[in-house]
């Protein structure tokens, strides 16, 4: 049994009753690895790259497709899982934080995911992306928030990644709140069954959705009988 502790405030249901979800931060990779869009009251850091996919030609921003690309070191011709990807540090991550006096209510993270190859694509190769966060940790499969598996088909067209709509959406409502001057990191781990560095993972339009709001005054929480911004919520998993 794992016990994960997360931070939420007991007055959220009241304070967010009229809030509407919007884009908090987005990474479209059109010019660099920085956030292309970010709410004025948060800090959104640039993409960071794990040791397994770092290095020249292994990962980065494609100036041709304006997407993030990576050649996973966690690759095999047989079945492969997230444990191999974690051990290899085959991930990239984004981190957002709430500025002083504000908090973030996260709703979802979405992204476009796919693959390319330099040459003819062969069939029945699996590409896998796993989304983790610092809310739950980066230890094993129990910590996965969401995942996507894509299987290749034989084609002469090497471009096989989506555009225009998210191919992976992860519900974050159970891990919603990032409080004033705190932050959360999201990691996307990658693995595949190609055993070939010519196959390339592609990720685009990484988007965090939710709301950003002002932290209520202590007097307001006292009037509601909520005793301030308490730290609570334990999520248990078998």
- Tokens representing residue 147 in the block: 């995942």
Entry pTM: 0.84
223: Cβ–Cβ under 8 A, 6 or more apart, which residues?
A: none
Contact 192, 199 (CB under 8 A): yes
Percent of the chain with pLDDT over 90: 60
Contact 112, 166 (CB under 8 A): yes
The owner of tokens 């299987």 is: 151
pLDDT tens-digit readout, 207-219: 999 999 998 876 5
Q: What is the mean pLDDT of the chain?
A: 83
- Tokens representing residue 102 in the block: 């504000």
As a whole number, mean pLDDT of residues 101-127 equals: 91
CATH says 23-213 is which class?
mainly beta
Spell out the domain ranges in the chain. 23-213
Q: 113, 116, 124: which is closest to 197 by C-alpha?
A: 116
Contact 205, 27 (CB under 8 A): yes
List Cα–Cα distances, 184 to 26, 57, 141, 229, in angstroms: 15, 28, 19, 18
- Tokens representing residue 129 in the block: 């992306």
As a whole number, mean pLDDT of residues 130-148 equals: 95
Return d(Cα 209, Cα 156) in angstroms, integer. 36
pLDDT tens-digit readout, 141-154: 999 999 999 888 88
Return d(Cα 170, Cα 129) in angstroms, integer. 12
As a whole number, mean pLDDT of residues 115-135 equals: 90
pLDDT tens-digit readout, 59-99: 999 998 899 999 999 999 888 889 999 999 999 999 999 99
Q: DSSP secondary-structure letter at 22?
A: E
225: Cβ–Cβ under 8 A, 6 or more apart, which residues?
A: none
How much is the pLDDT for 19? 55
Q: Is the pLDDT of residue 234 over 70?
A: no
């Amino acid at each position: 049994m794992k016990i994960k502790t997360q931070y939420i405030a007991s007055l959220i249901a009241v304070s967010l009753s009229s809030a509407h979800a919007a884009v908090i931060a987005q990474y479209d990779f059109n010019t660099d690895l920085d956030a292309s869009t970010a709410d004025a009251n948060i800090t959104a850091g640039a993409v960071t790259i794990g040791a397994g996919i770092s290095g020249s030609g292994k990962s980065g921003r494609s100036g041709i497709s304006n997407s993030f690309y990576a050649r996973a070191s966690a690759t095999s011709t047989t079945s492969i899982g997230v444990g191999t990807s974690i051990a290899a540090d085959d991930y990239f991550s984004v981190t957002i934080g709430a500025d002083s006096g504000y908090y973030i209510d996260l709703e979802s993270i979405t992204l476009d995911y796919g693959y390319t190859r330099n040459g003819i694509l062969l069939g029945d190769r699996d590409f896998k992306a796993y989304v983790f966060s610092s809310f739950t940790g980066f230890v094993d499969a129990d910590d996965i928030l969401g995942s996507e598996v894509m299987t290749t088909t034989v084609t002469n067209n090497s471009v096989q990644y989506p555009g225009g709509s998210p191919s992976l959406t992860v519900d974050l409502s159970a891990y919603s709140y990032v409080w004033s001057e705190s932050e959360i990191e999201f990691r996307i781990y990658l693995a595949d069954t190609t055993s070939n560095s010519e196959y390339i993972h592609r990720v685009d339009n990484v988007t965090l959705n939710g709301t950003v709001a002002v932290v209520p005054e202590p007097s307001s929480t006292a009037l509601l009988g909520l005793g301030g911004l308490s730290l609570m919520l334990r999520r248990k998993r078998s």
